[in-house]
Structures are given as C-alpha cells and as structure tokens.
Amino acid sequence: MYDFKGKTALITGAARGIGRAIALELAKGGASLALNDVNEAAANEAIELATKAGSPKARFYKFDVADPAACDKAVEAVVADFGGLHILVNNAGISIDALVMRFKDEDWKKVLDINLTGAFYLTRSACRPMMKQRSGAIVNLASVVGEMGNAGQAAYSASKGGLIALTKTTAKELAARNIRVNAVAPGFIDTPMTQALPEAAKAKMFEAIPLARLGTPQDIADCVAWLASEKASYVTGAVIKVNGGMYM
C-alpha cells in the first residue's frame, strides 16, 4: 500500500476492469478520486467501493475524453472541487478490430480519438495545474500490441504505440516541473472480453505467455499505483511491461 493522503487522482475508464482496480488501489492509500467513464451506473458503484476502501472523497465526472473543451472543463472542475490534481491515469480506451484492407475510416478515427488523442487532451489540460504546483504523476495505459503489433488490430496497435511515444515526449517536456510521465503496457488480462473467448483461443494465448496465465486487473493496478507514488520518484519516461513475459 502506498501513501496517497492529500492527493487527488483523475482516472478515465474507471468504472470497471483495470480502471476500477486502479481506483480501488489508489483509494486504499487514501487518495481522493475523480472517476470518469461512459457507464455512469458502474462508475457510481466504483465510487461506493472506493469509499469503502479508504478514499476520503470520490466523485463521478461525465465527459468525453475525445472533446478538448470537455477535458479542459473537467480538469478545472476537479481542481475546484478537490483543491488540486496530483495524479492522472489515462486508462479510457476501446478496440475495433479488422484487417487493414477492411477497416472503416470512421472506426480508425474513433479508436485514435479515444485511445490516443483523448490522452493527449487530458495530459495537456492536467499539466497546467500540475506545473503550477510543481509536481504530478501521469500514467498512461498502453498495451503489449503497441510494442509488438498484432494482426487485425491496426488502429488499436497504432493508438497504443502512439501513446508510448507521447509518454516519452511529455516526460521530457514536463520533467523540469517535477511532473513524471510513465506508461504501463499490459499483456493479456483476465477481463470479461478474454473470458468470452473460445477455449482454443485461450489455449493459444497461454502458449505465448511464459508465465502461463492471464494477468489480472490487480496486476496492472499494482504497477500503476507504484508509478503514481513517491516510491517511483526517480522514474519517468518508462514503459513498464506487465505481460507475463510474452514480449520482452
């Protein structure tokens, strides 16, 4: 457990899965939470769980990460409501899969807008109050396929690869103001999406993972919490692989 008392974290895609696990892990350390998601009911459930876990204050903020004005307003609201913003976790993301030759223009744009451009908008918005307070931690959720590629996931791979590049560039730009920017690149994680796969597909996945198991949302949350904490105060521009060894 890390000490996040007096810190406020804004987490996108926080209602379920990895986002919820991150929210609960930060809550255990006493962080106040600003949670964003498209699923308001699930987000409110996450808020209730976070409060029980130890968060002194948790609120839901409904906004579109792909809307730059909405991102600005959301960050302003969080700072006004909580008195500051110390941690940003860019977790919101979608995947639309298809071969390149069949990929629709609107689907390409949608994936890039949410996964990559949304993270850029929020980083730009959040770094302003962080620069004034001369401290902050930003953690981006990338993916193993952003490092190694994957057939049928051109848009998703491109968005996550771009997020890795964005992480490294913003880490260099913001380091002078003591703002650290890092990324976590999960491998195959045990979520409802992977649980629904046929047994043959699951078996093939396991063959590619030296640790021979899927990761859990908690595996990712533990890494994000470390990067957001003062225990990682000398870490910036890093891309931490949490993939069971499937890509080294």
The answer for residues whose C-beta is within 8 angstroms of residue 198's C-beta and 6 or more apart is none
Distance, CA of 74 to CA of 87 (rounded, Å): 14
End-to-end CA distance of the chain: 27
Question: In 10 A of CB 201, how many CB atoms?
Answer: 10
DSSP 8-state class, residue 158: H
Q: Of the listed 61, 121, 156, 247, which one is catalytic?
A: 156
156 labelled catalytic:
yes
Place of tokens 């030759």: 101
The helix/strand/coil state of 86 is coil
Burial class (CB within 10 angstroms; exposed 0-12, middle 13-18, buried 19+) of 99? exposed
Nearest to 107 by CA among 144, 155, 66: 155
Nearest to 46 by CA among 30, 65, 27: 27
User: Among all residues, which ones are annotated catalytic?
Assistant: 156
